[in-house]
A and B are shown apart, each in its own frame.
Chain A
Amino acid sequence: MIETTTNWFAACRVEDAVENGGVCVKCGDDQIALFYFTRRNEWYATQNLCPHRQQMALSRGMIGSAGEDPKIACPFHKKTFSLATGECLSGDECAIQTYPVKVEDGLVYIGLNN
């Protein structure tokens, strides 16, 4: 999937992101949750909508790890999803969309599919 990405969307400055947490990025009509996993020095982006109850909330959740896998827990009912693959780690909710992230010159970019 990464190879087909052509459009890098400038989301915010590094200092606007929340350390070890998420922010919500407005991307046209879409909402993308952007996570700065400072502890692992990693960036992740996923859809902001939690598929469980269709709430725009993942950016307000808590991040963490299950084994080695980085994950996000929805603040509503604590459904967890892998930040790396989008796969649901608790129960059988459908997977969430993930996006590649890059940082250049203090700006954070999210890779969108055209």
Chain B
Amino acid sequence: MKQEKIVIIGNGMVGYKFCEKIISKKNDFDIIIFGEEPRRAYDRVHLSEYFNGKSADDLSLSTSEWYTQQGITLYLNDPVKEIDRNNRTVHSSKGLTVKYDYLIIATGSAPFVPDIPGIDKEGVFVYRTIEDLDLIRNYATHAKTGAVLGGGLLGLEAAKALIDLNLSETNVIEFAPRLMPRQIDSAGSGMLQSKLKALGLNIYTNKGTSSIEGTDRISALKFNDGTELKTDMLVISAGIRPRDELAKLSGIEVGTRGGIIVNEYMQTSDPSIFAIGECALFDHNIYGLIAPGYEMAEVAAARICNDIKTFKGFDMSTKLKLIGVDVASFGDPFTTEPDARTILFEDSHKGIYKRINISNDGKYLLGGILIGEAEAYNMLLQTVNNKILLPPNPEDLILGSRGGSAQSENAGLAGLPDEALICSCEGISKGAICNAVSEDGCESIDAIKKCTKAGTGCGGCIPMVKDLMLHTMKQNGKYVRNVVCEHFHLSRQELYDLIKIHNLKNYEQVLDNLGKGDGCEVCKPLVSSLLASLWNDMILKKGNDTAQDSNDRFLANIQKGGTYSVVPRIPGGEITPEKLVIIGQVAEKYGLYTKITGGQRIDMFGAHLSDLPLIWEELINAGFESGHAYGKALRTVKSCVGSTWCRFGLHDSVSYAIRIEERYRGLRAPHKLKSAVSGCIRECAEAQSKDFGIIATEKGWNLYVCGNGGSKPQHALLLAADVDSDTCIKYIDRFLMFYIRTADPLTRTAPWLNKMEGGMEYLRNVVVNDSLGMAEQWELEMQALVDSYQCEWKTAIEDPEIRKRFNHFVNAPEEKDPSVKFDEMRGQKKAADWTLA
């Protein structure tokens, strides 16, 4: 069988989409594309982003390799100038003649340019292609003021582009009495207008333009009412005109006001020729949005592959951000009494306008308009499209949360039928998205985009896709980020607050009051950590001892082979020769391997469980205390030698490090905490890699927070600059209490900050500007923790009941674990290697 040939005229978004669709259905066509523009298909919907940083490549929908890989021939810069229907060939302007079995016209539209005297002057532009944008950008460099003709959707986009080009004055001229007359009502337009004015846009409605003034280049606009507006440039955005001239020339039927007439299969009057996108006229309508264009591409591709699909018109609902203002219009936005009832909400203080139209019986939503705040758009659109029964108080839909909103939103999502169209650009249903999550394991927006293409068009459905994804994961029992475990259906933060409110003091009490079942290795250490952060009781107090993670339970780090390591605190890394001698003696006596740690202290490895109390007795008698190396707690505050010795040092970093380490020693947190103090900008203590790090400046200290090493290192960020020692400590108090209170389990400060909405700006507001009004309370709470500090090892060795637990055998306390084995290396011992079963 011979390969059938498809020729596509036009390489815009819809033409490109057609290629994708037809290839995914049947990959044995010979496809040839003629494009008029010099570039491959690009994202015209987000064209204005070209002015704030996106490059033409960013906007491109595909790579040139893609066409090669798919075996598609692409001729750019070569528009078709004639269709010979009798011989089924097209002739391009560069002289190519190509035969076709099917011809797809996807020529799109051109800006409508009204016939105003002077329209051909220099400085008058249209807004459609990247080339247009380049011309506008070049001209704008020597223009001060600009104007846009047309206050519709595209006109406002163009106005945004001019603002982005830093013109000192931008004017919008609309012929109709209001902005966006096709999408929103006059009250909504009024609200939009006042918001845009506040953003520095001058808006003139009811203005008919009579002429464009200027000698060679534009200098002013003259209006029918006799007024005049000076301007250096003008962008015309007065609507679109379908590109039907080629079809017309070839004898294909077109509408009286333009557009290539198509049937429900997108066939033109010549059944082997199709028209899709903005050049097509279906049922007297031109569809100037991307979603219906994509749907047309699908229908045409289906028809060629003998699938049965029809185009049934399209929902023209839309939501966009215009110059930072949310605008949405859905369903039938204009219907009024007696056909429907209307609920309005207007807040001129915040610039919010919302309107919903409901059926007379109050059961169904028919449509509406949202200005200034459009979060509810997706859900409202779904409510219209799926004819979902309205709640008894439909005003809740636009008035938002007045208690229990999260639940009702989820109920809304759950209530959608599987067929509900979520991504209208790509035609992806709720069922398909849920399937991608459940069956294909997509658990991020990116994964869902890859798998289903949902959200890859205009992107408006992404919040809803995300909600659906989380909702499905939750249903599958997968989304557990916020719930501790099967025993506590609470987040760590909720648990923290509840333990505090109910004044619960041990694990069993917490489980009885707030949880269920018998606990596990996840919730036990977590609750123990919260209890320690809240009350700072000795962690091995009866009832809490067995709820500690193994390291905390034996106040030492379990190592390979079942022995433990011992780390006494050496604040700031400063130690006397006498104390160094003691460590050496103890290590020698108990046969321990010694190593300097990364946090400027000394670790002794290979201690038998039953030797731990004996070792610590000796260390404590010599003036050492626990280093909490075993806890999710403050570890060390590293320091450089500072101004006492260093010729560059600005302040005494060692003394400050000791002060800080002694303040926060033993502080239990969601994860371990590390700190450092550097005496000058040379930063020898590496403070910027710590959870909180401090660097001396000429005027005081700079405080950096949320740096982490680990598998994904991250530098700390500046929280406060040039603060004095006491203020710096105040900020650290607040920062640490905020972290302890709100972080998810086992989340270090860097990922905690990464997840925080508002990021560093928000954190700075909370800590430095006290935006939550919590500063005083947090400082008091921290002071209480500091005041109740005790050395856990001191308490442990003085308590016979606790001490008893440091024996390996309950029935042979004097015997050590005979299975412990050591090897030798470089004159010291090392743990025997893992023996595998």
Using a CB–CB cutoff of 8 Å, the interface residues on chain A facing chain B are 11-12, 16-21, 23-26, 31, 34, 37, 39-40, 51-57, 60-67, 70-71, 73, 75-76, 78, 80, 94
Contact = CB atoms under 8 A, between A and B. Distances in A.
Given A39-B508, A62-B547, A62-B550, 11 more contacts: A20-B508, A20-B546, A24-B809, A25-B811, A26-B811, A26-B812, A55-B561, A62-B520, A64-B519, A71-B520, A94-B837
B562 interface: yes
Interface string B826-837: 000000001111
What 10 A-B pairs have minimum CB-CB distances, sorted nearest first? A75-B550, A21-B546, A64-B520, A73-B521, A65-B518, A23-B810, A26-B809, A62-B521, A64-B519, A26-B812
Nearest to B543: A19
Contacts of A40: 518
A62 B551 CA distance: 11
B222 interface: no
Contact of B809 (A20, A25, A39, A70): A25
Contact of A19 (B519, B546, B553): B546
A80 B486 CA distance: 15
B817 interface: yes
A106 B648 CA distance: 70
A23 B562 CA distance: 14
Interface string B460-499: 0000000000000000000000000011000000000000
B827 to A, nearest CB: 26
A70 B812 CA distance: 27
A61 B519 contact: no
Contact of A75 (B486, B558, B837): B558
Contacts, number: 103
Contact of B562 (A17, A18, A51, A55): A55
Nearest to B835: A54
Nearest to A70: B518
B815 interface: yes
Interface in B633-690: none
Nearest to B485: A64
B524 A62 contact: yes
Interface in B524-580: 524-525, 542-543, 545-547, 549-551, 553-554, 558, 561-562
B64 interface: no
A37 B545 CA distance: 14
Nearest to B518: A65
Contacts of A18: 545-546, 805
Nearest to A40: B518
A34 B808 CA distance: 12
Contacts of A78: 521
B819 interface: yes
Most interface-central of B508, B550, B836 (chain A CB within 10 A): B550
Interface string B812-823: 100101011000
Contacts of B392: none
B823 to A, nearest CB: 15
Contacts of A16: 810-811
Contact of B519 (A52, A60, A65, A67): A65
Contacts of B521: 61-62, 64, 73, 78, 80
Nearest to B519: A64
B226 interface: no
B710 interface: no
A1 B486 CA distance: 32
Nearest to B521: A73
Contact of B834 (A31, A53, A75): A53
A51 B371 CA distance: 63
B800 interface: no
A31 B518 contact: no
Given A64-B521, A70-B518, A75-B558, A21 B545 contact: yes
B826 to A, nearest CB: 24
Contacts of B812: 26
B546 to A, nearest CB: 3
B53 interface: no
A17 B810 contact: yes
Contacts of B562: 55-57
A12 B558 contact: no
A15 to B, nearest CB: 10
Contacts of B523: 64
B545 A62 contact: no
Contacts of B598: none
A55 B562 CA distance: 7
A64 B4 CA distance: 67
Contacts of A39: 508, 518-519
A57 B805 CA distance: 14
Contacts of B817: 24, 31, 56
A66 to B, nearest CB: 7
B520 A65 contact: yes
Contacts of A53: 834-836
A21 B551 CA distance: 14
A65 B562 CA distance: 25
A55 B523 CA distance: 24
Given A21-B545, A76-B558, A65 B810 contact: no
B517 interface: yes
B550 A60 contact: yes
A78 B520 CA distance: 10
Contacts of B809: 24-26, 31
10 contacts: A12-B810, A19-B543, A20-B508, A20-B546, A34-B810, A57-B550, A57-B558, A64-B517, A64-B520, A75-B549
Contacts of A20: 508, 546-547
